[in-house]
Chain A
Amino acid sequence: MLSGIDYFVVIAYITGIMLLGFYFRRFIASSEDYFLGGRSLPFWAIGMSIVVSDIGAMDFVGVSGQAYRYGISVGNFDWIGSVPAMLLAAFIFIPYFWRGGMYTIPEYLGRRYNQKVRTIASLTWIIFFAVDLGVLFWASAVLLNVLMGWPVWLSILITAIVVGLYTYFGGITAVVMTDVVQLVIMFVGGLTLTFLGFHAVGGFDGLVDKIGAMGPEYRDHFDLIQPADTKTPFPWTGILFGLTFVMANAYMIGNQTIVQRCLTAKNEWHAKASMIFASGLKMLVPILVLFPGLMAIILHPGLEDGDQALPMMIKSILPPGLIGLMFSAFFAGLMSSVDSLLNSTATLFTKDIYEPYIKKDATDKHYLKVGKMTTLVLLLVGVATSPISGKFPGIYVAIQTFLSYFQGPLFAILLLGMFWKRGTQWGGLSGLLIGIGFATVLNTFKGAFFTIEDPFLYVSWWSFVAGFFITIVVSLFTSPHPDKRLVGLVYRSTPRKDKSK
């Protein structure tokens, strides 16, 4: 499928990214440089990095496929399922994390509740990220093989070498700065496909008219809000309660790969601005990934598998050269996801597990070395385990389901930790553990509890509610923390001092 000029574009992209990432090794002198970029990065780079880390190669194909099947309602995940949560993160949570000089979200939970909560949250994320790495390698490589005929082992090897080199040597600064280029590649590739696609279907009006004329099953394809009893996975009740109130907040406030970027900001204003800038970019993401799926309904009707929509669009719409650019965009999605997982997992392990449990009070150089070695080990584990994940076809979905077990209760204790002074260490610990247990029960017996096939939005909401109330009840029966311990950890617990005077 790739022509000579396409190969040139892809090779130029891969070489350029490796050299750019490698350049940033010169800025690494301490563990703070490695994990937090020396707290020196500007808002625009961080904002772009947040967005690109969130879009994987799988998302390009998956979201287009869902748009092909269900219509525009899948856009809820990037719009209402991101923007309000990002604003809440920007104005309330990020400033507290940044001022506290924190490296990880579990570190906040440890200071606010106790060390056990920190360890449980950190270990959960580490296990999730480590397993996800192998699965991501394999699933994305298979995708690239299907789309472009690129051998699976070659995609994994190239990604591992390129990302491994710059992440190992350059830390989060290299991750963020390469993400900036990856975002530009993705947006140029995606917008070109959308623009040429609109041209092919007769513009936006042509798209709406032609899909509307295709029959009653396409009647709801341009409705963001779907009925509560819809058979799609996106009823408005699930979107509002599960996605907007819980999953989006848990992701934007509690996910290490997202929040760690804001902690690299050069000052508090840049930390807040990065998340708001990212929310603006998020508004544009559906244009890249959703509209090609809708256009495929007209240009390639009757596809059995919706996930074929985007590959078909690329083949039929893009000229040589631009196919190489789109292929680079897929690679960018894979690389940005892998580099985020590597650096964030290394940070979690070094700061939350190694430093408190394995070697306290070591030199900063030692922790820097541990961070680098963890990055390398994770990369090798990811590459080694990726073929295993190929033997379990449902593992990608299983991992996403596991995330929905964890996110509701985690957000419940983060929210109460930030806004309720009376929340205690035992309340937080019980809320987290019982909430995860409740989500597991709901998901295991979902056929008995829910009427829709894939109720992950509802599971998130109800496990959040369980975690929230358990935390409150247990807190009220246990001793409160002294006010002094909560300074800087609970909203408005500290009078703000304007250091800029």
Chain B
Amino acid sequence: MLNFDWLAGISLENAKIIFLVLFVLIGVLILFIPNDYIFQGLEKNKRRWWNNLKFWAIGVLGLLFFTYYIF
């Protein structure tokens, strides 16, 4: 039980899918964050698309997804 023996039957391919699904899930949750919350702290007239932290986060998650997909 403490050693997660009950998960030993899951193949490595399925384990990889679990990791990849986790990254997609995090990405989807980030997309649901309201833009107003993302830009909080920046003046309204200084908010540009490249200040949208959702894009930054999705970019990093994309790299992470790609890395785990390859390896």
Contacts and interface: CB of A to CB of B under 8 A. Distances in A.
Contacts of B19: 80, 225, 236, 240
Given A268-B41, A450-B3, A83 B71 contact: no
A452 B4 CA distance: 11
Contacts of B53: 90-91, 269, 272-273, 276
Contacts of B36: 496, 498
Contacts of B71: 72, 222-224
Contacts of B60: 83, 87, 276, 279-280, 283
A32 to B, nearest CB: 18
Interface string A244-274: 1000000000000000000000011111110
Interface in B38-71: 38-44, 51, 53, 56-57, 59-61, 63-64, 67-68, 71
Nearest to A280: B60
Contacts of A235: 4
Interface string A434-453: 00000000100000011110
Interface residues of A, number: 47
A79 interface: yes
B42 A269 contact: yes
A484 interface: no
Contact of B7 (A72, A223, A228, A272): A228
A80 B40 contact: no
B54 to A, nearest CB: 9
A100 interface: no
B44 A500 contact: yes
Contact of A236 (B12, B56, B57, B64): B12
Interface residues of B, number: 38
Given A80-B19, A269-B42, A500-B43, A90 B7 contact: no
A95 interface: yes
B28 interface: no
A390 interface: no
A455 B30 CA distance: 32
Interface string A70-101: 00100000011001100100110001000000
B15 A283 contact: no
A87 B44 contact: no
A496 B37 contact: yes
Nearest to B34: A496
Which 10 A-B pairs rank lowest in CB-CB distance, beginning with the nearest? Answer: A269-B41, A268-B41, A267-B41, A237-B4, A224-B71, A500-B43, A228-B8, A236-B15, A276-B56, A269-B42
Interface of B: 2-5, 7-8, 10, 12, 15-16, 18-19, 22-23, 26, 30, 33, 36-44, 51, 53, 56-57, 59-61, 63-64, 67-68, 71
30 contacts: A79-B67, A80-B68, A84-B64, A87-B26, A87-B61, A90-B53, A225-B15, A227-B8, A228-B4, A228-B15, A236-B15, A236-B19, A237-B7, A240-B18, A240-B22, A241-B4, A269-B42, A270-B41, A277-B56, A279-B57, A280-B56, A280-B60, A283-B63, A283-B64, A449-B3, A458-B2, A458-B4, A498-B36, A500-B40, A500-B44
Given A223-B71, A269-B51, A500-B40, 15 more contacts: A80-B64, A87-B26, A87-B60, A87-B61, A225-B12, A236-B19, A240-B22, A269-B53, A276-B57, A279-B57, A283-B60, A450-B2, A496-B36, A500-B41, A500-B43
